[in-house]
Each structure stands twice: as C-alpha cells, then as structure tokens.
Amino acid sequence: MTVIYLKSAYDTPSATVLEAAAGGAVEIIEQVELTRERLLASRGLITGNQLDQNAMLGMREALAAFLDAGGRWFLNGHIVRPILDGMAQYRPIDTPRRADFVLTSVNPHPIFAGIDLTQIETNKGVAGFYGRGCNPLPAGAVAVNGLGEAQVAVDWVWARPGGGRVFSHAGNDLGAMGQDWGLSPELTRRILDWAGGGACLDPWPSNPARAAGERTLEEPEIFAGARSAAGRVGSIVAPSVGSYHIIRSLEGPRYAAAFDVITAPEELADILRPDDILWVPCRTPAQRMMPQREVIARHLQAGGTVVALGESRSDLWLPSIDFTETPTNWWWWQDSEADLGVKIVAPDHPLMHGMVKEDITWHLHGWFVPPAGAEVLATDAESRAILYVDEVSTPGRMILSSLDPMFHHGSHFMPATTRFLDRFVPNLKAYLHA
C-alpha cells in the first residue's frame, strides 16, 4: 500500500514529491483518474488547494470507507463542499488585521516539531498565505496551530469515530510554506510521512478542541452547485472544476446571478451554443480544458465568445495565443513607494467602464503578444498586454487576461480582485448584450 498524491492542478508536483514517487513511497494520480478501487488500495491521500470538491463529493462513500479502514487524508485548502459527515464549510476571519495572521501552536504536532512558526507565517514578509480562517473543527478534532490572539484553528487533526485520521490545513498548500527559509521540502516530507502512517498526536490530548475566543468569523455562504438555464439565449456558461475559489466565485451570492450555466468542462460539448459566452475561470487546470479544444474551436468558428482569465494556460487550449509566464512578485507592495506599473490603456472601452488603475493592480503572472488588430485594454510596466480582446483570429471573440481575480476573491484575499470583478462582470454582460 502506498500514499496517493492527488494532482488537481496543472503544475508539476514539487521535486520532493517527484523524488518520493520515484522511490515508490507515493503515487501521483490525476484527479480524474482517481477511482474507489485505487483509493481503497492506498494507505494515505494528500490533496492540494485546487482539489475538485465536486468530484470528491461524489466519492464520499469511498472516502469514508478508506478512512474507516485506517487511512489518512491530508487536506489543504478551504472546505466549501463538506465531504465527510462532521465537516463544515470554511469560515474566514471577518475583516482581518495583520495581528490576526500571527501563527502560534495550540497542540504540538510532529509535522511542526522543531520548526519556528514565524518562518512559515509569511512568504516574502507577506501574511495571509498560510491561512485566513478555518475549516471548523469536527467534534473530537484537535486544534494544532491557530491564527491571531483567538487562535482560530487553521490547522487541526481529527481521529474519526469510525476510523482513520484527517489533517486539515485551511490555506495555501502547507508544503509550499517556508520558502524563504528552505522549509518547503522538509514540510512536504513530513506530510508524506504522516499520510503514510507516521507519527501523529499520541497520546490524544484530553482537552482537544479550543474555541476561537471572541474573534468573529464570517457566516457560511450558500453554494447551489451546477446550474442550467432552460430556454436560454446568449448565456454565460462557466465550466467549474470544483476548486474552492471557483465554487465561491461562480456560486457565491456576490456573482451567482451573472452565470447562467455552471457545468463540468467535460460536459461542454453537450451544452455550449454559438450564442453563449464561455467564461473559463482563472486557475482552471489546463488538463481539464485541453480535451475540449475542438469543442471550443467550433464555438469560436460559429461566432461564439470565450473569456479566459489568468493561470488557466489558455495558450494550451485556445488558438492564436502567444503567452509568456513570469515569476510572481506578491511582495512589491511592502514598499510604500512601489508601483507594479500596470496601466489601463483603453479606458473608454466598455469592458473597462468605471475601472481605475488600482482595480487591476495586485500581481502579475505573465503577458501576451496579441495578434495584429486585437485591442489591448491593459498592460504591465513594460507595456506588454495583460488584458485584450481578439476579434481577428477567429470568427468569434476572445477576451484574454493573465489577471487572476477569481482565485483571490474566492480565497477571501486581496480586495482589488473583488473590485475588478465588481466592475468587469456587469461590464461584460452589457458589452456582449448591447
């Protein structure tokens, strides 16, 4: 029996995971290839913060059986679809301050033994990546690390009554923390060891749960799931890969009314119509969209519209895309005089109505070389396109951006991204339905 590293994102797993896989300690499995049989044949499961929670919800009985048999699940990210009985929806800290991100130990756990928590509290001095809230503790779970004076349980471990253990880290992947100090490989090795049956809390603490003090958490939101608009004309169709930030962005109350159809990418061939707008959310794993290239090409040839936002690698599944990735600088704003250098170069375009520079300023992931005749709407400091409209490459229309607002809005992180969507969503509907 081995440990499954479930690959939901497009990016290659870390060198530490690849080394463990080469040695036979872990098996890397694409999310769409996970079956009940493969899960039950393993001793551990590690999932990242881009986990397809829709698909996982469909495997809840298999997951429960895996845990009942003594399996271990290391879970990164926000729970928005409570997958197991006893779990509850993620709740962020309401209006957090910097002091609310101070990381302290509640109950010592072997994964963090000898690690200075201040070294994983921030990345490049920026707080909030480790976590901004909690997946509420199930009955009998033990808080491991807490945020702020209230010690909101960002990390906990749960010995389920039926068997097995779950470790929840409610933030960006724990194995990517501590990069400034070279801690990421060691954290990853410890996670792999824990998932394979390594040291946990023993003996179990007699007072396992700890309340979040007086710190207020936001109320849970309602996420309605897949959606289909009967008799629709010119609908916005959004493929959802079930990651928490996409679920919140598409189904949460702020923007839910904008999306007429929410479906899995694999179902687009049966749903997409020429007068629809296909909106592919940022950080949609490219391996989920690449098999849909012909479907999308037909849509564009029929005069349809495609909107593709950042980190979805649209160059791998759309035609005529010339894209260059760049390293992400997320710490530039620590200098009060710093300027990311982005510019709105077409302020009169309908898609940019009401926007100001601050609405497109958080950080950058890359730039495009648009074809001749395309209209550039925003650029980076080197005057390279980061948002443009292409109505020349196909009979249809493509609206492309390297900005990733849905990821950050869905993660309750970076207010500028929500301001961008507050303007872009109604602007898009008005522009395409004019």
Q: Quick one: average pLDDT of 195-222?
A: 81
Give pLDDT, residue 127: 86
H/E stretch holding 388 reads strand 385-390
Mean pLDDT of the 397-415 span: 95
82: Cα within 13 Å, side-chain hemisphere: 15
Average pLDDT over residues 293-322: 97
The per-residue pLDDT for range 327-363, each reduced to its tens digit, is 887 666 667 667 889 999 999 999 999 999 999 998 8
In angstroms, the first-to-last Cα distance of the chain is: 58
Average pLDDT taken over every residue of the chain: 93
Counting residues of the chain whose pLDDT is more than 90, the rounded percentage is 85
Q: Does the pLDDT of residue 214 top 60, yes or no?
A: no
Q: Is residue 44's pLDDT more than 90? A: yes
- Tell me the DSSP string of 24-73: TSEEEEEGGG--HHHHHT-SEEEE-TT--HHHHHTTHHHHHHHHHTT-EE
Q: Can you name the residues that pair with 217 across neighbouring β-strands? A: 93
Q: What integer pLDDT is reported at residue 192 of this predicted model?
A: 98
Stretch 94-119: mean pLDDT: 95
Before 350, cis peptide (omega within 30)? no
Report pLDDT for 57: 95
Percentage of the chain modeled with pLDDT above 70: 95
Residue 123 pLDDT exceeds 90: no
| pLDDT band at 232; cut points 50, 70, 90 | low
pLDDT computed for residue 434 by the predictor: 67
Matching residue, tokens 């060891």: 193
Q: What are the tokens at 125?
A: 């001095």
The answer to whether residue 55 scores a pLDDT higher than 90 is yes
Burial of 214 (0-12, 13-18, 19+ CB in 10 A): exposed
Biggest distance spanned by C-alpha atoms of the chain:
68
Structure-block tokens of residue 402: 């390297």
Q: State how far the Cα of 40 lies from the Cα of 66, in Å rounded to an integer.
A: 5
pLDDT at 181 over 80: yes
Residue 35 in tokens? 């079956």
pLDDT of residue 330: 66
Cα(304)–Cα(398) distance, integer angstroms: 9
Q: Among 109-123, 218-232, 263-277, which is the least confidently predicted range?
A: 218-232
CB hemisphere CA count around 42 (13 angstroms): 27
**Cis peptide upstream of residue 208 (ω within 30 degrees of 0):** no
Q: In the prediction, which pLDDT does 294 show?
A: 98
Indicate the helix (H) or strand (E) that contains 409. Answer: helix 405-410
pLDDT of residue 198: 94
Average pLDDT over residues 1-22: 96
Give the per-residue pLDDT at 14. Answer: 97
Q: Which of 87-91, 390-394, 412-416 has the lowest mean pLDDT?
A: 412-416
Would the pLDDT of 376 be above 60? Answer: yes
Strand partners, 26: 3
Average pLDDT over residues 290-299: 98
Which pLDDT belongs to residue 382? Answer: 95
Confidence label for 211 from pLDDT (cuts 50, 70 and 90):
low
Scan for tokens 């602007």, then name that residue: 427
* Mean pLDDT of the region 247-264: 95
pTM, two decimal places: 0.95
State residue 204's pLDDT score: 84
